[in-house]
Amino acid sequence: MKNTSRRKFLKASALAGVGTTIATGAVAASTAAAPKKELFVHHVYFYLKNAGSAADKAKLMEGLEKLSKVPTIRMVHIGTPATTNRDVIERGYSISWLCLFDNLEEQEVYQKHPIHLKFVDDYSHLWEKVIVYDSVGPKRA
Amino acid sequence: MKNTSRRKFLKASALAGVGTTIATGAVAASTAAAPKKELFVHHVYFYLKNAGSAADKAKLMEGLEKLSKVPTIRMVHIGTPATTNRDVIERGYSISWLCLFDNLEEQEVYQKHPIHLKFVDDYSHLWEKVIVYDSVGPKRA
């Protein structure tokens, strides 16, 4: 390969992300024996004391926005019950708080994090109960 | 800017992803009036008839692997209860099935999809009950 051709190839590779792909492939091959990556799913359903209060709901949403800053959280979703309404669907909660963590340990860091402790202090008067589902399973591509 | 300087700038921008950022910014500005993207979270907890049966659990896992092929599913996670064990944590289910969809309509396509109907036909004898939580909220970056 002439020097200019090689330079062109390198440029094209960088632009297309080809260099990145090769590097990732090499890493994957060298860690083939490592255990599969897990994902820790932490799902909390909040039942407000005043379920009909838009103000209380907005207040809790505000608190959850602050809570979402805990650094070990990989992905977060704040939701409210969808319009779907079959017998098997639970719709009595006011807010759904879904958090994904890399593993149990990262979730425990979240539980003890000052932002989380302050969230409980500042907002727990709003809810009557919470139901939590923690589940673990392989991370998918 | 001289022609050579400009060429260097364009190359550096492309490599650093600056060009991409500018393009994204332009798209965002032109669609500022469009509604925010939503995410539909469908979370199902399966309670097996024979909760102690590893075979039944494996069988349902097999069924869920098939179910995960429904094309409107954006992300899926199959889990089992974590080791966390506080009062507020529900641990009686055998398998957690978490699915993310772009919106309600995509979730409805999933509900009616032949793969889903066949899953219910083939595997529903395994569970005693399911609890479903459907929630919607803004999609985050």
CB neighbours of residue B94 within 10 Å? 22
- Least Cα separation, residue B83 to chain A (angstroms): 8
Per-range mean pLDDT, top range of A15-19, A102-106, B20-24? A102-106
CB contact under 8 A, B133 and A90: yes
A119 touches B: beta carbon within 8 Å: no
Task: Let me know if A90 is exposed, middle or buried by CB neighbors in 10 A (0-12, 13-18, 19+).
Answer: middle
Chain A residue with the nearest C-alpha to that of B91: A133
CB neighbours of residue B135 within 10 Å? 24
Percent of chain B with pLDDT over 70: 74
Domain locations in chain A as residue ranges: 1-33, 38-138
User: Beta-strand (E) ranges in B1-141?
Assistant: 38-48, 75-81, 95-101, 127-138
Residues of B in contact with A40 (CB under 8 A): 82
Higher-scoring residue by pLDDT: B27, B121: B121
B96: tokens are 């957690």
For the whole model, what pTM was predicted? 0.77
Higher-scoring residue by pLDDT: A76, A27: A76
Q: Say if residue A40's pLDDT is above 80.
A: yes
Residue A86 has what pLDDT?
95
Say what the ipTM of the complex is: 0.76
CB contact under 8 A, A82 and B140: no
B69: tokens are 């092929």
Given the candidates 3.90.550.10, 1.10.1040.10, 3.30.70.100, 3.40.50.1100, the CATH classification of the domain at A38-138 is 3.30.70.100
Give the separation between CA A5 and CA A90, rounded to whole angstroms.
63
Q: Say if residue B113's pLDDT is above 60.
A: yes
Q: Say if residue A71's pLDDT is above 60.
A: yes
Q: Indicate the pLDDT class of residue A140, thresholds 50, 70 and 90.
A: confident
Nearest to B79 among A79, A98, A137 (CB): A137
Residues of B in contact with A41 (CB under 8 A): 77, 79, 96, 98
Measured torsion, CA atoms of residues A51, A70, B133, B64, in degrees rounded to the nearest 10: 180
Higher-scoring residue by pLDDT: B29, B106: B106
Mean pLDDT of B105-120: 98
